[in-house]
Structure 1
Amino acid sequence: MKFFLPLSVFLLVLTGYVRAADDPAEGIKTATRVHEIFEAKCLDCHGPELPRPKGKFGYVLDLKRVAENPEYIEKGHPEKSELFKMVFNDEMPGEDANVPPLTKDEKDVVKRWIELGAPEAPQIAGDSSGASANKSVEAKPQMPVWKKALRWIGRMHPVSTHFPVALMFVAVFAEGIAWWTRRDSWLQTVRFLVILAALGAISAAALGWINAYFASYTGQLAPILKWHRWLGTGTAVWSIVCAGLVVINECREGSTERQRFRGALLLGAALVGISGFLGSALIYGLDHYAWN
């Protein structure tokens, strides 16, 4: 009898806890809070009104759509959900966002929302992103001037890539003319183009690493960024190899050295093309060359 009473109390408490966890009211309340958090912290980069939201993720306030995307949410398992991982590790909002990272309490709310199965928030009448953001967002600490300057410099990466891309492909075209005409003037032109391309590739790769530091990509775009960054770096290194081959040796037409350089140049142009494709995929998606 003495044992039965404490056990009964324990079971009643446990039952109440389970019921509370399954209470639809908690799901609605948590989802509403998550909506407010996302509205305050995520619209800067993922707002639906943005022409090019980061990571093509411009529906952050549509909790139902977010929850149904397995790349972002695994219902009931926040530790396996990519969105929560990035929020927990302060990868979102990114360094270039105008809002501070989520607080511990906000992270706990997002975690609980996923544990509850990522329920949908009720329609909020007269919802205004600006009003909610002003209520829930504290002032972001001012970014140091040197960091702002570094971020601004990194934004030059997309522009800088056009220089080595164009030069490498023109160098291949010029190499074809040199092979056809057998004229030394074209061999010198190829040499000039490849050296400039190598210098431009080094600059583009350096700017790319800076730009990536301040960027935040989720879902399938996260590995694309990784591949683009490392392949771009490898391409810059290979362009230096091409420049070295054409500078160290005379590389006269018909020589073994010229054939070796020509093979390296063709491979370098292919690497430039693949790197450029992955870079544009970060903005337009992997299917941006689809016919339809």
Structure 2
Amino acid sequence: MNRFTVPFLMILFVAPLASAAEGAGHDVRQIFAQKCAACHGPDLPRPKGRFGYVLDLPRVAANPEMVIPFRPDESELWTLINRDEMPPSDSPHGPLTAAQKEVIRTWIATGASDNPADSADAPTAQEEITESTPLKAADRFVRWVGKFHLMLVHFPIALILAAWFCEALATWHRRSTPSETVRFCLRLGAVAAVPAAGLGWLFAAAGNGVGSPQLLFAHRWLGTITAAIVVLTAVWAERDAHAGDRSPGLRLLLTVGAILTALTAHLGGLLARGLDFLDY
């Protein structure tokens, strides 16, 4: 075989891929500017989910929680898009078309490269906002209700931790009868935990936390499991009260619930304030 044949074939094979990658990068930026920048663009003072760099493709591609170059099926960004979670169903700009999804998938599959020269031509978030369509009344209401997650969630956190502390004191003093304080905290904690978890899902569905998808996944599922355990613990406490006995099962459930509550709250704080919030 001629010594020039292999390099020639490599050029024929690689050149179209490079061209496709550059073209995909340009198209992806255009799609993100049209569909995503209104909530996650660089011009916003408080972008949703602390994800305000959707038009900065190199930064998006460099985030391993979002994109794994050449492996779209393992990339959280593609998973969210493919499941129609992003943009959310109530997005003012509407969902992505099948063709737009394929462009984004191709961009990741070809290495998630970028053509910096195209960034100046991309529409800004402000330009795209003027083309938005108003939300339906029901969608606007659901998005508004989800915001109450941030206010309601503090009550079950405080109540469950207070219940655990009171139960620990009762155990230390070797009291044999159930604590009314523990029952009171668990009742209110269970009543608040269930809607707090549900509102958290609505809050996430509106695009909050999308900048840290793995952290968001852990937070909302752990919160859901914690709410279920809190309800079970409250029911167990009522059973012990009727029996007139403090069972080891209640202490175990309450300890697990308190640990999960603290962990879920910590993950929520990281989502809201960022991983560097406690840096000294």
Q: Is 1:119 aligned with 2:113?
A: yes
Identity over aligned residues, as a percent? 37
Shift in CA distance, 56/145, structure 1 to aligned 2, threshold 3 Å: closer
Q: Is 1:201 aligned with 2:168?
A: no
Q: Is 1:270 aligned with 2:259?
A: yes
Amino acid in structure 2 at the alignment position of 1:268: G
Equivalences, count: 271
* Corresponding residue to 1:133 among 128, 133, 136: 128
d(CA) in 2 for partners of 1:250, 1:111: 57
Q: Indicate the residue corresponding to 1:46 in structure 2.
A: 40
Q: Is 1:166 aligned with 2:166?
A: no
Alignment of 1:147-186 (within 5 A): 147-176=139-168, 178=170
- For residue 182 of structure 1, report the CA deviation from its aligned partner: 8.1
Larger Rg: 1
Amino acid in structure 2 at the alignment position of 1:157: H
* Corresponding residue to 2:269 among 255, 264, 280: 280
CA contact (8 A) 1:171 1:190 kept: yes
CA contact (8 A) 1:44 1:97 kept: no
CA contact (8 A) 1:172 1:265 kept: yes
- For residue 166 of structure 1, report the CA deviation from its aligned partner: 0.9
- For residue 99 of structure 1, report the CA deviation from its aligned partner: 1.8
d(CA) in 2 for partners of 1:273, 1:179: 21
Q: Indicate the residue corresponding to 2:3 in structure 1.
A: none
- For residue 129 of structure 1, report the CA deviation from its aligned partner: 0.7
Q: Is 1:231 aligned with 2:231?
A: no
Q: Is 1:245 aligned with 2:236?
A: yes
CA contact (8 A) 1:224 1:282 kept: yes
Give 5+ residue unaligned stretches, structure 1: 1-13
Residue aligned with 1:257, SS: coil
d(CA) in 2 for partners of 1:121, 1:18: 20
- For residue 152 of structure 1, report the CA deviation from its aligned partner: 2.1
d(CA) in 2 for partners of 1:175, 1:134: 53
Q: What's the TM-score, normalizing by structure 2? A: 0.75
Shift in CA distance, 188/48, structure 1 to aligned 2, threshold 3 Å: same
- For residue 62 of structure 1, report the CA deviation from its aligned partner: 1.6
Q: Indicate the residue corresponding to 1:3 in structure 2.
A: none
Residues 109-156 of structure 1: CA deviation (Å, up to 9, x unaligned): 334434443332234558651465269x6x54x544333323322221
Q: Indicate the residue corresponding to 1:75 in structure 2.
A: 69
* Corresponding residue to 1:100 among 94, 104, 119: 94
Residue aligned with 1:262, SS: helix
- For residue 22 of structure 1, report the CA deviation from its aligned partner: 4.5
Residues 46-79 of structure 1: CA deviation (Å, up to 9, x unaligned): 2224444344432221222223334433434444
d(CA) in 2 for partners of 1:176, 1:230: 27
Amino acid in structure 1 at the alignment position of 2:218: W
Shift in CA distance, 95/29, structure 1 to aligned 2, threshold 3 Å: same
Give 5+ residue unaligned stretches, structure 2: 1-8
CA contact (8 A) 2:65 2:213 kept: no
